[in-house]
């Protein structure tokens, strides 16, 4: 990280953004929420993400760079992509954009940045969503993008992020993590905790490093007033962890902490494309990130320089190594693609951490109903706009701070709770959904084509939805910020007898939508559904285990029923007689949990 002379600034609130508080808003069928832009090579894999989003009530469409390059006017690929996004925003009111790939898949617009004697060119993904001012970000026509006299306007109503992957398996790895996070939340014992760590940036003040003292000021100002979680400190001079001063901020020790599955991790240290700086002049390297096995799912923020340089010739950079790994459990990475900035010889919170602090404030702001990842980054950047008119660290970070991860995913700032069990009924084409959760979003979309042929969404509902002429398989989702989503598949069965068509409701999303390209066959719970007073569980056994046991427990953990299965039968269904309530169904293979699912009956 580069240092600056301390220049005080005043706080600013985000402008230009409005939250919905109205009930029963029916989305126009031509309104889209989310657009994914990727390559033809990765399109099939990102289609799984599209279908998953649609099943959650996020209307999503997919476009390829190749298609846009052929059909949209523009001076180069970057300008064509930007014009396509502008067209989609104007026509379909899109809110979120995901750039599905690194710079070899979706090109970057490299923009000029300067602070003091330092200058560089940085990838700036917000180029794609800022349409006011000089559209091409080269107002003076000299071929250099992003200069002060290019008449840029950073205002935008679209929220953008990038998933810097290159291969189909890397896409699938991330979708698997996203599915786990959105459906189950962070199941680690360290949820609702933030790990804050770092090593000396410039000097020590007495026995404390500046990184630690800056971190204390950062947490006190930006997080503690708005969050009831717990902060765990792990700095070079101070730590809350067992071992005290002898537990150094080293790669091995940091790896041990990252394995614990903290909800948030903030690292304040020096870095370059492939490393974080550690205590004792050591380095946390890309190889550490590649080998990380995380017990939870984590959001990372960092002030370190260059660790998010996804356009660098050396691949992967640190952020890419984290985000591409399935076992590492990293959901998002917010860091600079070039230098980060702090105040020299000071313990005040510098520019990089001011951006990150605004991000955390947005995440935890009770007035922001939908605290989606890219939206909260956009809010943070909006707060800094008054300081971006000239060449300085704030303008530098406005362009170099590129959010990595799914643009729309809802970040759980607390352990999410459960929605009430809905009542679902179907009579000859009439689908009725009733829930006790007022203000929830209710969405029904066609199952077989991922919502392309039918999509209906009721936002901030009054708890009821009735739809006619539903004569096809559907996804039904009930979602609300801060709660785990409820998803059902409705399997339609036609009848030759008038008035006798039926629909079977099965809890959970199809695993086919999130199955990994390189995933080995496993014993798994394929589906759960209710018929009268019975809960039916379909199981697929793929690896010929010696013993398989299916156990049903209630929400308190008490065993309701269990069955030992015939391991020679690959596909089998078991029925359990139960009363209405929440249940956890666990499949044990040779004493180990091989799959688990939750089901609710009302």
Q: Where are the alpha helices (DSSP H) in 17-161?
A: 40-55, 65-71, 77-92
> Which domains, from first to last, does the chain contain?
2-9+168-361 (3.40.50.1460), 417-507 (2.60.40.10), 520-601 (2.60.40.2360)
- Give burial (CB, 10 Å; 0-12/13-18/19+) of 119: exposed
Give the C-alpha separation, 453 to 450, whole Å: 8
Q: What are the strands, taking DSSP E only, across 228-363?
A: 230-235, 264-268, 271-272, 275-277, 283-285, 298-302, 330-336, 341-343
Predicted local confidence at residue 556, as pLDDT? 66
d(CA 331, CA 322): 9
> The tokens of 110 are what?
């490299």
Q: How far is CA 10 from the centre of its chain?
A: 30
Give the H or E element holding residue 552.
strand 548-554
pLDDT of residue 521: 45
pLDDT along the chain (602 residues), means of 10: 48 34 50 97 97 92 98 98 98 97 99 98 99 98 98 96 98 94 87 97 97 98 97 98 93 98 98 97 97 95 99 96 96 99 97 98 89 97 98 99 98 89 91 93 91 89 94 94 90 84 81 41 73 81 74 79 81 84 79 71 64
- pLDDT at position 5: 46
* C-alpha 78, offset from chain centre: 24
213: which 2 tokens?
A: 């003292």
Residues 6+ apart with CB under 8 A from 589: 523, 543, 545, 547, 548
Residue 580 burial by Cβ neighbours in a 10 Å radius (0-12, 13-18, 19+): exposed
| pLDDT (0 to 100) of residue 591 | 67
The DSSP secondary structure of 415-427, one letter per residue, reads --EEPPPPEEEEE
Contact present, 460 and 25 (Cβ < 8 Å)? yes
Query: Measured in whole angstroms, how far is the alpha carbon of residue 235 from the centre of its chain?
Result: 27
Residue 575: CA count within 13 A, CB half-sphere: 6
Contacts of 532 by beta carbon, 8 Å cutoff, 6+ apart: none
């Amino acid at each position: 990280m580069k240092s600056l002379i301390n220049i005080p600034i005043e706080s600013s609130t985000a402008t230009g953004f409005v939250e919905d508080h109205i009930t029963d808003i029916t989305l126009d069928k031509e309104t889209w929420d989310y657009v994914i832009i990727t390559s033809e090579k990765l399109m099939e894999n990102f289609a799984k993400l599209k279908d998953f989003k649609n099943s959650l009530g996020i209307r999503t469409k997919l476009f390829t760079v190749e298609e846009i390059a052929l059909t949209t006017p523009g001076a180069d690929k970057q300008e064509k992509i930007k014009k396509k996004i502008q067209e989609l925003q104007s026509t379909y009111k899109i809110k979120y954009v995901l750039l599905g790939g690194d710079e070899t898949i979706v090109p970057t617009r490299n923009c000029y940045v300067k602070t003091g004697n330092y200058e560089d060119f940085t990838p700036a993904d917000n180029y794609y969503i800022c349409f006011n001012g000089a559209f091409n970000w080269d107002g003076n026509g000299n071929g250099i993008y992003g200069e002060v006299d290019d008449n840029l306007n950073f205002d935008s109503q679209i929220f953008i992020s990038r998933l810097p992957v290159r291969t189909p398996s890397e896409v699938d790895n991330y979708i698997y993590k996203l599915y786990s996070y959105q459906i189950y939340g962070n199941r680690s014992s360290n949820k609702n905790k933030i790990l804050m760590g770092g090593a000396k940036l410039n000097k020590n003040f007495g026995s404390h490093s500046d990184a630690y003292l800056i971190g204390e000021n950062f947490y006190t100002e930006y997080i503690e007033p708005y969050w009831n979680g717990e902060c765990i400190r792990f700095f070079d001079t101070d730590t809350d962890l067992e071992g005290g001063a002898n537990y150094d901020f080293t790669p091995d020790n940091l790896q041990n902490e990252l394995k614990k599955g903290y909800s948030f991790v903030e690292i304040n240290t020096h870095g370059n494309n492939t490393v974080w700086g550690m205590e004792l002049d050591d380095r946390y390297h890309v190889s550490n990130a590649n080998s990380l096995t995380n017990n939870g799912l984590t959001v990372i923020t960092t002030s370190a320089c260059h660790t998010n340089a996804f356009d660098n010739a050396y691949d992967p950079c640190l952020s890419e190594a984290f985000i591409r790994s399935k076992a590492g459990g990293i959901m998002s990475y917010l860091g600079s693609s070039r230098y980060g900035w702090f105040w020299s010889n000071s313990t005040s919170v510098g520019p990089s951490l001011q951006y990150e602090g605004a991000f955390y404030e947005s995440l935890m702001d009770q007035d922001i109903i939908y605290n989606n990842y890219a939206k909260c980054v956009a809010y943070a950047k909006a707060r800094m706009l008054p300081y971006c008119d000239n060449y300085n660290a704030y303008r530098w970070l406005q362009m170099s701070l590129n959010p990595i991860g799914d643009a729309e995913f809802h970040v759980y700032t607390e352990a999410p709770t459960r929605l009430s069990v809905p009542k679902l009924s179907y009579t000859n084409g009439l689908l009725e959904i009733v829930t006790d959760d007022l203000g929830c979003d209710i969405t029904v979309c066609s199952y077989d084509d991922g919502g392309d042929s039918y999509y209906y969404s009721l936002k901030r509902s009054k708890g009821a939805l009735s739809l006619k002429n539903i004569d096809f398989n559907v996804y039904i989702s009930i979602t609300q910020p801060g709660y785990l989503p409820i998803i059902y598949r409705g399997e339609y069965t036609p009848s030759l007898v008038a008035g006798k068509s039926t629909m079977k409701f099965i809890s959970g999303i199809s695993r086919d939508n999130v199955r990994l390209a390189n995933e080995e066959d496993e014993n798994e719970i394929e589906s759960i559904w209710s018929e009268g007073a019975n809960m039916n569980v379909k199981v697929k056994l793929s690896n010929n285990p010696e013993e398989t046991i299916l156990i049903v427990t209630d929400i308190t953990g008490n065993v309701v029923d269990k069955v030992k299965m015939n391991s020679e039968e690959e596909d089998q269904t078991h029925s359990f007689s139960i009363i209405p309530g929440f249940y956890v169904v666990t499949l044990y293979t040779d004493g180990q949990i091989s799959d688990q699912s939750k089901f609710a009956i009302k």
